[in-house]
């Protein structure tokens, strides 16, 4: 017969075990809520804001009402009004606009004459999910505006606005072309994980403390380990490229040198952040858990890989900005699909270098303190 006293004793023992072990406490209390926040994005691919630039060549009251109707609820946010078609490419390459709306001459005349009027929507196909949703939203809103125009125009019939979509950089808006370059940043977390586990393993086995009696300096130890895994990480880029191009047929419009440079910057930031984190854990199990929660899962949902980064939330913007994968998604897609030169990547590369420098400096400071 089950003893209530023994049952309570076992329960009390396990309670003390959980509360005294930060890893277990994290796993049972914090991890479920964290995973819920992350995994909820799997079922929430809706994009609630699109940055748009407008080239209004018609310049009539109807065209202005059309723009106001599209942007009235804030889903389409006009970031710039253009004077020429050539300005579109510059803004899209800089990532300032996801959609360019081109309203040609004669749109109002065609509508009031009962004819369809063509309006061009240039979509940035680098982000396929955003591009597809933007095209669908524009088409639905344009048809609604055309229906509302009937009583305003006071004519028995009017034409409809016909959205002609043109996708740049990924003409078919194929999701694989967008996802594969972004996913490279996720899979390249593996060399970072291997570095973190190697560091934690030496601490777990006790060889870490033995460094105090050797002439090895902290900077030599850290950078010696980093250089090894950096070399293996760069070599792992070769089969990744083969898979991306030969199997998934993703075009590489940039150069291999460009891809190698942005990947080096990514590894520099990732290794620095990983070394800083694992300085505070004592086992491989804890290091694995931390790496999954800090690097792997957020890389799917907080880096712009699936849906754009939510910049309306300051906390989300800060977290995304600290994650190296957020910047590598932009860089990898830019190299593969846009073929931009390195000078166009100066901002994201500089941020990765800053993250790597700051975290490696802190890692070295913590490391010196622990072995002294």
Section 63-91 average pLDDT = 89
Cα(101)–Cα(52) distance, rounded to whole angstroms?
A: 7
Same domain, 163 and 187: no
Q: What is the DSSP letter of 244?
A: I
Same domain, 119 and 195: no
Q: What is the DSSP letter of 212?
A: G
Q: Is the pLDDT of residue 37 over 60?
A: no
Strands 161-168 and 99-103: unpaired
Same domain, 224 and 267: yes
pLDDT of amino acid 156: 47
List Cβ<8 Å contacts ≥24 apart for 3-11.
none
Is 324 within the bounds of a domain?
yes
Q: How far is Cα of residue 311 from the mean position of the Cα atoms in its chain?
A: 12
pLDDT of amino acid 197: 83
Distances (CA, A) of 272 to 206, 258, 319, 361: 23, 22, 16, 8
Same domain, 150 and 216: no
Q: Which of 116-120, 162-166, 214-218, 310-314 has the lowest mean pLDDT?
A: 214-218
φ/ψ region of 357 (left if φ > 0, alpha if ψ in -120 to 50, else beta) reads: alpha
pLDDT tens sequence across 108-129: 888 887 788 899 999 988 887 7
Q: How far is Cα of residue 253 from the mean position of the Cα atoms in its chain?
A: 20
Q: How confident is the model at residue 23 (pLDDT cuts 50, 70, 90)?
A: low
- Burial track 89-119 (b if 16+ CB lie within 10 A, e otherwise): eebbbebebbbbbbbeeebbebbbeeeebeb
Section 72-82 average pLDDT = 89
Contact 304, 297 (CB under 8 A): no
Is 290 within the bounds of a domain?
yes
Q: How confident is the model at residue 155 (pLDDT cuts 50, 70, 90)?
A: very low
Same domain, 216 and 335: yes
Same domain, 350 and 234: yes
Section 329-346 average pLDDT = 89
Is 23 within the bounds of a domain?
no
280 versus 347: the higher-pLDDT residue is 347
Same domain, 163 and 180: no
Written as six digits, the tokens of 266 are 């990514």
51 versus 205: the higher-pLDDT residue is 51
Same domain, 62 and 162: yes
Q: Give CA torsion, residues 329, 330, 334, 335, to 10 deg.
A: -50
134 versus 152: the higher-pLDDT residue is 134
Q: How confident is the model at residue 351 (pLDDT cuts 50, 70, 90)?
A: very high
pLDDT tens sequence across 232-283: 888 888 998 898 888 888 889 899 999 999 999 999 999 999 888 888 887 7
Looking up tokens 């004459």 gives: 113
Signed CA dihedral, 101, 105, 107, 108: sign only: positive
Section 68-76 average pLDDT = 88
Among 106, 135, 168, where does a domain finish?
Answer: 168
Same domain, 235 and 338: yes
Is 35 within the bounds of a domain?
no
Is 286 within the bounds of a domain?
yes
- The CATH number that applies at residue 80 is 3.40.1710.10
Section 297-312 average pLDDT = 76
Same domain, 198 and 164: no
Count of domains for the chain: 2
Section 25-39 average pLDDT = 58
Same domain, 161 and 180: no
Q: Is the pLDDT of residue 371 over 70?
A: no
pLDDT of amino acid 57: 92
Q: Is the pLDDT of residue 370 over 60?
A: no
Among 122, 147, 168, where does a domain finish?
Answer: 168
Neighbours of 190 (CB within 10 A): 15
Cα(109)–Cα(111) distance, rounded to whole angstroms?
A: 6
| Secondary structure (3-state) at 165 | strand
Is 244 within the bounds of a domain?
yes
Its domain, for residue 93, covers 50-168
Q: Is the pLDDT of residue 42 over 60?
A: no
Section 223-235 average pLDDT = 85
Signed CA dihedral, 41, 42, 48, 50: sign only: positive
φ and ψ at 323, to 5 degrees? -70, 120
Looking up tokens 């300096």 gives: 217
Contact 111, 152 (CB under 8 A): no
């Amino acid at each position: 017969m089950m003893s209530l006293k023994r049952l309570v004793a076992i329960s009390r023992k396990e309670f003390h075990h959980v509360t005294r072990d930060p890893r277990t406490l994290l796993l049972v209390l914090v991890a479920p809520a964290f995973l819920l926040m992350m995994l909820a994005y799997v079922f929430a691919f809706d994009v609630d804001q699109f940055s748009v630039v407008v080239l209004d060549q018609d310049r009539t009251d109807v065209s202005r009402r059309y723009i106001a109707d599209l942007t009235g609820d804030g889903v389409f946010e006009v970031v710039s009004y253009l004077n020429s078609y050539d300005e579109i490419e510059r803004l899209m390459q800089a990532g300032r606009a996801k959609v360019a709306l081109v309203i040609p001459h004669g749109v109002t005349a065609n509508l009031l004459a009962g004819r369809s009027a063509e309006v061009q929507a240039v979509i940035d196909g680098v982000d396929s999910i955003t591009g597809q949703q933007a095209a669908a939203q524009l088409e639905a809103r344009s048809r609604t505006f055309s229906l509302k125009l009937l009583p305003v125009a006071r004519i028995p019939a009017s034409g409809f606005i016909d959205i002609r979509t043109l996708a740049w950089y990924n003409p078919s808006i194929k999701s694989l072309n967008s996802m594969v370059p972004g996913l490279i940043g996720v899979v390249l977390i593996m060399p970072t994980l291997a570095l973190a586990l190697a560091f934690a393993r030496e601490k777990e086995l006790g060889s870490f403390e033995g460094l105090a009696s050797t002439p090895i300096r902290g900077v030599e130890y850290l950078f010696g380990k980093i250089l090894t895994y950096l070399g293996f990480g760069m070599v792992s880029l070769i089969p990744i490229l083969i898979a991306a191009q030969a199997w998934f047929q993703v075009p590489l419009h940039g150069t291999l040198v460009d891809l190698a440079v942005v990947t080096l910057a990514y590894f520099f930031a990732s290794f620095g952040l990983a070394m800083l984190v694992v300085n505070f854990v004592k086992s491989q199990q804890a290091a694995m858990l931390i790496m999954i929660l800090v690097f792997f899962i957020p890389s799917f949902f907080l880096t712009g890989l699936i849906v754009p980064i939510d910049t309306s939330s300051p906390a989300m913007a800060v977290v995304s900005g600290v994650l190296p994968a957020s910047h590598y998604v932009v860089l990898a897609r830019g190299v593969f699909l846009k073929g931009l030169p390195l000078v166009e990547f100066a901002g994201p590369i500089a941020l990765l270098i800053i993250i790597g420098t700051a975290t490696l400096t802190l890692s070295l400071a913590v490391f010196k303190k622990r072995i002294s």
